[in-house]
Amino acid sequence: MARELQTTVLASVAAGTAKLSTVSDTIKHVKRILEFISDFPEWYHHNTNLEEHKESLRRKMICLEGVKDDVETQLQNTELQSGKKRKREVDHWLKNVRKKADDVSKVETAVNSVHFLPKFSFRAWLGSCIGEEIQEVTELTQQGKFPEGLLLDAPRDGGELFVTNRLVGQIIHEKIDEIFTSINNPEVMVIGIQGHEGIGKTALMMEVYNRLCARSSHRVYYVNVPDNFTTYSLQAAIATAMKVDIPEGGENVRAARIFNVLKSIKEYIVILDGLSEFFRWEEVGIPAEGNAAGKLVFTSRSFDVCRRMVCQETVVLDRLSLEDAEMLFMETLTASAAELSEEVRKVAKDVVQRCNGVPLRIIDMGIQLRGVTDINEWRNTLYEM
């Protein structure tokens, strides 16, 4: 039909009976008429089934509201227990659902205002709006399933890796292997690392922590135990390492928060560095002994603390051998060690012996004497030790 009209118009132009401007306007009008004719069945459908589509939209909106309520309930439960944060897409989805509810409400109000009016075009237009709303509500309902979960996956470790120095000596590496053997043993839940002050417990546990973060499937939390800690302060230190907010209220409420977060994690390791006295697990919030999902590793100067904490394995750190002590001392001196005279080197051996194989003392003396070449200063330092 369009081709016939176009042929007729062009023929009129060729015969000189119509002007070009008139022809152009005529073609535009013809196209509009043809578009209306082609769209008329759809408009008629929208007009005739307006009430039916309105009811369909209402049912689908109820379904979407139900999905939204389920998502919000799940967020309230899982965010509290796991300490994880919701994904941004979840917040965007909830915002879109609320906006869609407002849009649908406006459309329903408009439909009700023309329910008994015979305005074909307006009813047909509203029917097309309802069709679009139905499609968008259906898409939002599908998106609300969130097959990848509502919350972000937390990193395996509880914080950043430590900057550590190279651990010197065969014995210390054997101790690390011993610790990992205990960690990998499913029957061992509590591991104590015992050693005197300055023996290298913290340096060793930092190395263990870094390796666990790189290789283990466990979530690892490194906690610096406060001096003269209380249950309250230990709970705060653990929560900080876990990056979890805990209430300022009573210890029982705080313990429940920590407990629920740890119980929600498949596998975890809590490292307590510098435990000076015994504490009750349940009072702090760490799940009780026998929980195969989690392990507790701690350092302490006291054998008695290891015993009272019911350690299934206790790794004792010994003093360095003289050979390892001298190696650590020379590494601490760095480049200046190569500049030492033979006379100074003899004094250096005596300095190392005075350190009694305690790594912290060896490192402190190495830093103090770094760059010193005067034999008298070396002798004075040895005399003052």
Residue 12 has pLDDT above 90, yes or no: no
Max avg pLDDT among 36-40, 297-301, 343-347:
297-301
Quote the pLDDT of residue 158: 52
| Residue among 57, 190, 207, 200 at smallest CA distance from 134 | 57
| Residue that wins the pLDDT comparison between 25 and 264 | 264
Residue 165 has pLDDT above 80, yes or no: no
Count CB atoms within 10 A of the CB of residue 222.
Answer: 24
Q: What is the pTM of this model?
A: 0.60
Calpha distance 260→1 (Å, rounded) = 74
Residue with tokens 């008298």: 376
Rounded to the nearest integer, the mean pLDDT of the chain is 80
The first and second tokens of residue 229, run together, are: 């800690």
What single string gives the DSSP state of each residue in 208-270? HHHHHHHH-SSEEEEEEPPTT--HHHHHHHHHHHHT----SS-HHHHHHHHHHHHHTSSSEEE
The first and second tokens of residue 48, run together, are: 């005739």
| Residue that wins the pLDDT comparison between 132 and 228 | 228
Q: Which long-range contacts (CB under 8 A, 24 or more apart) does 59-62 make?
A: 60/134, 60/137, 60/138, 60/141, 61/100, 61/101, 61/104, 61/137
pLDDT digits (tens, 9 = 90+) for 323-381: 988 888 988 887 666 778 888 889 889 999 999 989 999 999 988 988 888 888 888 88
Residue pair 93/157 in contact (Cβ under 8 Å)? The answer is no
Residue pair 80/261 in contact (Cβ under 8 Å)? The answer is no
Calpha distance 15→346 (Å, rounded) = 122
Q: Strands 219-224 and 294-300, how do they pair? A: unpaired
pLDDT digits (tens, 9 = 90+) for 40-84: 455 555 556 667 777 888 888 889 888 888 888 887 767 655 556
What single string gives the DSSP state of each residue in 248-264? SS-HHHHHHHHHHHHHT
- Residue 196's SS3 state is coil
Residue pair 220/271 in contact (Cβ under 8 Å)? The answer is yes
> What b/e string do you get for 150-189 counting C-beta neighbours within 10 Å, with b at 16 or more?
bbeebebbbeeeeeeeebbbeebeebbeebeebbeeeeeb
Start-end of H helices in the chain: 2-15, 20-48, 50-82, 88-113, 120-143, 170-183, 201-215, 231-242, 251-263, 281-284, 303-308, 322-333, 342-354, 359-368, 375-384
Q: Residue 88: CA atoms inside 13 Å, Cβ hemisphere, count?
A: 0
Residue with tokens 């659902």: 97
Amino acid letter, residue 91: D
- % of the chain beyond a pLDDT of 90: 28
Residue 122 has pLDDT above 80, yes or no: no
Residue pair 31/41 in contact (Cβ under 8 Å)? The answer is no
Q: 157 φ, ψ to 5°?
A: -95, 165
What single string gives the DSSP state of each residue in 158-184? SSPPPP-PPPPSHHHHHHHHHHHHHHT
Calpha distance 370→385 (Å, rounded) = 16
Helix H or strand E encompassing 193:
strand 190-194
Calpha distance 171→200 (Å, rounded) = 12
- Residue 315's SS3 state is strand
Residue 211 has pLDDT above 80, yes or no: yes
